[in-house]
Amino acid sequence: MAAFLYRLGRSAFRRRWTVALVWAAVLAAVGLAGMTAPEAEEEPFAMPGIESQEAFDLMEERFPGAAADGATARVVFVSANGEKVTATENKEAVEAAIAELGDGTQVASTVDPYESGAVSEDGSTAYTTVTYKVDAAGLTDASRSHLDESLEHARDSGLTVEAGGDALEDVGGPSGTAEAIGVSVAALVLLITFGSLAAAGLPLLTALIGVGMSLFAITALAGPLGLADTTSTVAIMLGLAVGIDYALFIVSRYREERANGRTAQEAVALATGTAGSAVVFAGLTVVIALAGLSVVGIPMLTEMGLGAAGAVVVGVLIALTLVPAFLGFWPNAILTRKARRARRAGGTPRETRKVNGGARWASFVLRRPLPVLLAAVAGLGALALPMTDLQLGMPGDEAKSTNTTQRRAYDALAEGFGPGFNGPLTVVVDAKDADDPKAAAETVSERIGGTEGVVSVSPAQFNESGDTAVFSVVPTTAPTGQETKDLVNTIRGDRPGIESEAGATFEVTGTTAMNIDVSEKVQSALVPYLLVVVGLAVILLLVVFRSILVPLKAAAGFLLSVLASLGAVVVVFQQGHGADLLGVETTGPIMSLMPIFLVGIVFGLAMDYEVFLVSRMREAYVHGERPDQAVTSGFRHSARVVVAAALIMIAVFSGFIGDSDAMIKMIGFGLASAVLLDAFVVRMAIVPAVLALLGERAWWLPKWLDRILPRVDVEGESLTRPDEPEAEAAEKDLARA
């Protein structure tokens, strides 16, 4: 591996114009495909293998056209000063507002609340549903403006008027603010780390090229594959973070080799052969973790995981080819001013053996490994404790700010009609084999209506064939409440007896039931996913480090950091501690998809730091240093760069905390906190402490296993041992160059 990458880096350096032009051509081709691709249609959320999805599919089959995906707006009218919306003046104002709402060019229908019974028992609240001919993405600015103006005119009558529904959702693309924040902070960190504008700018430039290429590719494929907007957002997030980091490690190793007196070409070749090997295997662990999300069986997660994995692959390829080519264009501009002055004066300063902050920290840990280990584990364990209170769900309008009309509409409906009104259950009765379909549907309705926790059941509506009925069930509790989940489980648990009595089958669906089913599926898939991904990564690290204990230590450290980061997410987004600082005004259940996606990304990134840091320790150990010396050497060479890489990732992820999408906000916070904990607690404290306690045993590998494992030479041992055939070939190639 090291010898192959050595030759690849040297070739990219020598043929830099060819490499740069090839990447420019690829970027232009992918960019053209992305810009000319037809606009992707928004695919409805689907979740195969759960009851609520099966019921929804049955509704679409038996009620063709009735389950159209047209946008809706639910407009709520609340009377003031104890008046009733049924009073003559208020009723006229409501009817006038409904008439104005119905005048929109894209409006399909509106419902009169006085005819449909959409008035609360105390007469204080009424609502109407405005249905559009197109989905939310197809609504024109004129339609949205018409809706806003109609609401304002209705408020002029003295009524409190609020609206919710997907017609009010912002369907615009990402603003780019998060990316701008991340790039700005990354630039500052790189400048401080390298002390050179060129060295700071190179990782940023190559990362932006990779992100642009990935974004164009996803845009081109969005239509044919039906990719969601979150796919590109996550690809940008990860592509930017790993793209900067991977280039950072190549550039850092290049500068180190130049400081040791190497020529520019030789330094590029050695940097690509050593640091590039670590980049390859670090990238592989990230790809395994992200692509492994497909085993969960959730289409949205699969899309996000594969899209982000593609961005990581692009980042690795750019780090191994385009970065060495760019180093060929600016071989000395990358160096520090001190190094450039020394070279002009004919000197070759050697800086790699000096005692720096990384070496001093390693020495501190090596002197007291047990206290450091216990303190780090105790701290992460304390942060992980809130995980025991984790509640999964899919928050809706109730999670929005009280400054939004959607949240105020939600609260008004809950106050006027009860908390369960915002999350009704939908029951689909399949009476195709029943002798009397209407009687069967009535039996199911009566039995469910008599269940404790049910407020009301709507009249059943049949399809044209008369063999399928649908009715709504309003719970007494809020959509995200545990009581509502218990009610759904109770109804489904009573199903055998109800179906036997009715002679027909039924299924429960609706947004609330869908959220419950998704949460349960994610929870059940988490352990198998961890076994697959962690198992594959441990095998990969076993090959890389040729050690039994180092991969197991890496996996254990990951579990600590991911549990602690999830605990931090629960503290902020569920329990509300410090939520105001992040602009989170309302707390509630954690997004169902968020934990498993966070686990996948964090595992990949955690293994990144493990490979980068421990590979330098392994390199020093293979080259003859004692285990404790190897730990110090690894920190002396890599600690500063790992810290810089972590700070860059934290900056990139933190930028997404300001995103309006609740899931992206949670992922941004979760990733930022996970990288913080993993890089600065697990990799900087737990790793050296464990290696110090293990000593020689850390690098133990049974002889029989050593014989069957492939040798990948991540540490570049073959490049410094002339008795190796690969090293001889590399030296001959270098001599000819």
Confidence (pLDDT) at 340:
66
Return the H-helix or E-strand segment holding 731: helix 725-736
> Is residue 670 within 8 Å of 565, Cβ to Cβ?
yes
pLDDT over 70 (residue 600): yes
Q: Taking residues 232-240, report their average pLDDT.
A: 81
Percent of the chain with pLDDT over 90: 19
What is the Cα–Cα distance from 65 to 73, expressed in whole angstroms?
A: 19
Residues forming beta bridges with residue 72, ordered by sequence position: 131
Candidate ranges 366-370, 533-537, 726-730; pick with highest mean pLDDT? 366-370
Sequence-distant (6+) residues with CB within 8 A of 187 are 200, 201, 204
pLDDT over 60 (residue 68): no
Residues forming beta bridges with residue 472, ordered by sequence position: 426
| Distance separating the N- and C-terminal Cα atoms of the chain | 21
> Is residue 289 within 8 Å of 601, Cβ to Cβ?
yes
Confidence (pLDDT) at 723:
40
Quote the DSSP letter at residue 70: -
What is the Cα–Cα distance from 199 to 271, expressed in whole angstroms?
A: 15
Confidence (pLDDT) at 722:
42
Confidence (pLDDT) at 171:
52
pLDDT over 60 (residue 720): no
Look at strands 425-430 and 160-164 and give their pairing. Answer: unpaired
Both tokens of residue 618? 């392994």
Q: Which residues of 351-373 are buried (b: 16+ CB within 10 A; e: fewer)?
A: eeeeeeebbebbbebbeebeebb
pLDDT over 60 (residue 356): yes
Selected residue with higher pLDDT from 613 and 297: 613
Residue with tokens 């050179």: 196
Confidence (pLDDT) at 734:
42
Confidence (pLDDT) at 343:
63
Sign of CA dihedral 519, 520, 523, 524: negative
Band of the pLDDT at 351, cuts 50, 70, 90? very low
109-168 per-position pLDDT tens digit: 888 888 877 888 888 999 888 888 877 777 888 888 999 999 999 898 888 999 988 787
Q: Taking residues 269-287, report their average pLDDT.
A: 87
Cα distances (angstroms) measured from residue 432 to each of 54, 62, 428, 435, 503: 16, 10, 12, 9, 10
Sign of CA dihedral 10, 15, 20, 23: negative
Both tokens of residue 535? 């198992």
Q: Taking residues 10-18, report their average pLDDT.
A: 93
Band of the pLDDT at 582, cuts 50, 70, 90? confident
Q: Taking residues 524-536, report their average pLDDT.
A: 82
Confidence (pLDDT) at 316:
94
Band of the pLDDT at 196, cuts 50, 70, 90? confident
Confidence (pLDDT) at 730:
44
Q: Taking residues 426-440, report their average pLDDT.
A: 89
Band of the pLDDT at 737, cuts 50, 70, 90? very low
> Is residue 410 within 8 Å of 422, Cβ to Cβ?
yes
DSSP string computed for 12-39: HHHTHHHHHHHHHHHHHHHHHHHHHSPP
Band of the pLDDT at 705, cuts 50, 70, 90? confident
Helix 725-736 to helix 264-291 angle (10° resolution) is 130
Q: Taking residues 508-519, report their average pLDDT.
A: 86
Three-state SS for 336?
Answer: coil
What is the Cα–Cα distance from 515 to 673, expressed in whole angstroms?
A: 26
Q: Taking residues 696-722, report their average pLDDT.
A: 76
Band of the pLDDT at 735, cuts 50, 70, 90? very low
Q: Taking residues 297-312, report their average pLDDT.
A: 84
What is the Cα–Cα distance from 274 to 10, expressed in whole angstroms?
A: 13
Confidence (pLDDT) at 134:
78
Q: Taking residues 31-60, report their average pLDDT.
A: 78
Confidence (pLDDT) at 621:
85
Q: Taking residues 516-520, report their average pLDDT.
A: 85
Candidate ranges 41-55, 294-308, 456-470, 719-733; pick with highest mean pLDDT? 456-470
316-339 per-position pLDDT tens digit: 999 999 999 999 998 888 876 776
pLDDT over 90 (residue 394): no
Confidence (pLDDT) at 460:
84
Quote the DSSP letter at residue 478: -
Three-state SS for 348?
Answer: coil
pLDDT over 60 (residue 724): no
Query: Distance between alpha carbon 160 and the CA centroid of its chain, in Å?
Result: 38
Quote the DSSP letter at residue 589: P
Confidence (pLDDT) at 465:
86
Return the H-helix or E-strand segment holding 108: strand 107-109
Q: Residue 346, exposed/middle/buried by CB under 10 A (0-12, 13-18, 19+)?
A: exposed
DSSP string computed for 178-226: HHHHHHHHHHHHHHHHHS-HHHHHHHHHHHHHHHHHHHHHHHHHHHHHT
Residue 725 has φ and ψ, to the nearest 5°, of -55, -40
Q: Taking residues 526-542, report their average pLDDT.
A: 83
Sequence-distant (6+) residues with CB within 8 A of 49 are 297, 521
Around Cβ 125, how many Cβ atoms within 10 Å?
23
> Is residue 136 within 8 Å of 71, Cβ to Cβ?
yes
Residues forming beta bridges with residue 476, ordered by sequence position: none
Mean pLDDT score of the chain? 83
Confidence (pLDDT) at 497:
92
Q: How many residues does the chain have?
A: 737
